[in-house]
Amino acid sequence: MTGISSEFPETTLDDKTLGQLIERRRHLHAHPELSNEEEQTARYIEEQLAKIGITDVKRIADTGVVAVVEGAHDGPTLGWRGDIDALPIQEINEVSYRSQNDGVMHACGHDVHTTVTLGLAEQMHARRDELHGRVKFIFQPAEEASPVDEPVGAEKMAQAGVLEAPKVDAVFAAHCMPTLEVGKIGYTGGGVWAGSDLVEIEVRGKKAHGAYPHEGVDAVLVASHLVTALQSVVSRRVDARQACVVTIGKIEAGNSYNILAEDAKLTGILRSLSTEVSAQAKEEIGRLARNICEGFGASCEVKFTAGARPVINDSRLEARAVRALEERFGTDEIVPHEPQLGAEDFAAFSRRIPGCYFFLGIRNEREGIVNALHTPNFDVDERCLGFGVERFAMMLLDVAKGWERE
């Protein structure tokens, strides 16, 4: 383990605990599993919970695991969620704990999230005489999956009753953040992650020979105008003070180089931090697409498929949690952070009950730990494990203790 220099804060966790955290994280990192395939990961979580001494453990939503630690005092039921799935990425890091599953990698830090969640469960179990109420630890599969015909991930767990029996009063989570220095915890003061919608536009023109384009309607030309025009939705129709992104990442058209394509399909994403902005953007995209196609003599079909909803922190819960963290660790370590236009399915929980989502600093420029999420050379400064467990354990204890007073 790298020695902690004076430029970073220190954790009060002992070396044995820190060593266990690193061992767990490296095991998980070396054995990643894709969404809905996390059977070995779930078994490992169950084994670790048993070693800790936690007995209230059960499977839910196939490869999900939920564990409850009961405190000695009356109080709320708080939830802590850690996602457990990996990505279809080939790791290129030359480390001893490199992925042993070809083409699969923990490139989004879910190995860290799982480890921190296990560490928090261990801390709550060890300190249950101090705990008011109980904490339900939710080990969630398939965060990276996209719903097609049925719910996945957080939504599947919610529909399976993970927030019930006992009913969860509030739920927390945190995500590795490579833009945030190790030792720091970030909060956003509202919106955290964007909602994400799949955008599909099918353009229908008329086939003709390339030498006689006037006899047809060129679907490729129409689609090309659409790609550029759609950016005006963001720059000219949506309030510039509101975050919104429209990206067309895929175009399919034609089957011959000298024939005007009869059809073209554009596929992309719409992201925003507000359901209202998203609804407006959808309306604008549909109207713009239809009008442009009509102007060229073409027609189109516009389809939106809902993905993750925006993650927006409950203001009262976030204020409680941030205050608890600042009182323990100071404002130098608990810092504001910009929201992200990436997507996360935590809203399946936080739209049902109050939720609060944090960022966990993992960055260490001196050690070269700066790479972005979802890249083949992503890694973390493992000191984040101790910082995450220590800080969030104290937050859970303090929020639970003060629950009835607020």
Instruction: For 131-146, write each residue's pLDDT tens digit.
Output: 999 999 999 999 999 7
Structure tokens at 368: 């070269």
Confidence category of residue 1, pLDDT binned at 50, 70, 90: very low
Q: Where a domain ends, among 289, 306, 323?
A: 306
Let me know if residue 6 belongs to a domain. no
Residues 166 and 81 in one domain: yes
Let me know if residue 69 belongs to a domain. yes
Residues 219 and 272 in one domain: yes
- Distances from the Cα of 12 to the Cαs of 8, 9, 18, 219, 389, in angstroms? 13, 10, 10, 64, 10
pLDDT above 50 (res 2): no
Q: Where a domain ends, among 306, 337, 353?
A: 306
Let me know if residue 398 belongs to a domain. yes
Name the least confident of 6-10, 114-118, 122-126, 206-210. Answer: 6-10
For residue 230, the domain's CATH number is 3.30.70.360
Q: Where a domain ends, among 306, 333, 359?
A: 306
Spatial distance between the Cα atoms of 355 and 135, rounded to a whole number of angstroms: 14
Spatial distance between the Cα atoms of 138 and 206, rounded to a whole number of angstroms: 53
Residues spanned by the domain of 134: 15-190+313-405
Instruction: For 322-333, write each residue's pLDDT tens digit.
Output: 999 999 999 999
Instruction: For 252-292, write each residue's pLDDT tens digit.
Output: 999 999 999 999 999 999 999 999 999 999 999 999 999 99
Beta bridge pairs of residue 171: 79, 355
Residues 279 and 338 in one domain: no
Q: Which among 123, 128, 136 is positioned nearest to 73, based on CA atoms?
A: 128
Residues 160 and 44 in one domain: yes
For residue 344, the domain's CATH number is 3.40.630.10
- 122 catalytic, yes or no? no
Residues 156 and 122 in one domain: yes
Let me know if residue 137 belongs to a domain. yes
Active-site residue (options: 33, 38, 83, 85): 85
Residues annotated within a binding site for Mn(2+): 108, 110, 144, 175, 374
pLDDT at 402: 96
pLDDT at 146: 79
pLDDT at 12: 87
Let me know if residue 5 belongs to a domain. no
Q: How many domains does the chain have?
A: 2
pLDDT at 4: 39
pLDDT above 90 (res 6): no
Beta bridge pairs of residue 79: 136, 171
Spatial distance between the Cα atoms of 91 and 378, rounded to a whole number of angstroms: 8
Instruction: For 362-377, write each residue's pLDDT tens digit.
Output: 999 999 999 999 999 9
What percentage of the chain exceeds 70 in pLDDT? 97
Residues annotated within a binding site: 108, 110, 144, 175, 374
Residues 41 and 104 in one domain: yes
Q: Which position has the token pair 């009950």? A: 353
Kindly report whether the global pTM for this prediction surpasses the value 0.75. Answer: yes
Residues 83 and 222 in one domain: no
Q: Which among 372, 309, 320 is positioned nearest to 345, based on CA atoms?
A: 309
Let me know if residue 82 belongs to a domain. yes
Buried b (16+ CB within 10 A) or exposed e, 230-265: beebbeeebeeeebbbbebeebebbeeeeebbbbbb
Residues 297 and 363 in one domain: no
Instruction: For 50-103, write each residue's pLDDT tens digit.
Output: 999 999 999 999 999 999 999 999 999 999 999 999 999 999 999 999 999 999
Spatial distance between the Cα atoms of 177 and 189, rounded to a whole number of angstroms: 16
Find the farthest-apart pair of alpha carbons in the chain and give their distance in angstroms, rounded: 83
Spatial distance between the Cα atoms of 238 and 284, rounded to a whole number of angstroms: 9
Active-site residue (options: 143, 197, 390, 398): 143
pLDDT at 149: 64
What percentage of the chain exceeds 90 in pLDDT? 94
Phi, psi of 132 (to 5 degrees): -95, 125
Residues 78 and 210 in one domain: no
Q: Are strands 340-343 and 191-204 parallel, antiparallel or unpaired?
A: parallel
Residue type, 354: P
pLDDT at 8: 65
Residues 186 and 199 in one domain: no
Spatial distance between the Cα atoms of 107 and 377, rounded to a whole number of angstroms: 8
Phi, psi of 395 (to 5 degrees): -60, -45
Let me know if residue 7 belongs to a domain. no
Q: Are 310 and 299 in contact (CB under 8 A)?
A: no
Spatial distance between the Cα atoms of 246 and 232, rounded to a whole number of angstroms: 10
Let me know if residue 281 belongs to a domain. yes
pLDDT above 70 (res 310): yes
Q: What is the Cβ-side half-sphere exposure of residue 269, based on CA atoms within 13 angstroms?
A: 14
pLDDT at 7: 62
Confidence category of residue 148, pLDDT binned at 50, 70, 90: low
- 143 catalytic, yes or no? yes
Residues 243 and 383 in one domain: no
Spatial distance between the Cα atoms of 379 and 107, rounded to a whole number of angstroms: 7
Spatial distance between the Cα atoms of 50 and 70, rounded to a whole number of angstroms: 15
Residues 236 and 329 in one domain: no
Structure tokens at 298: 């073409």
pLDDT at 5: 40
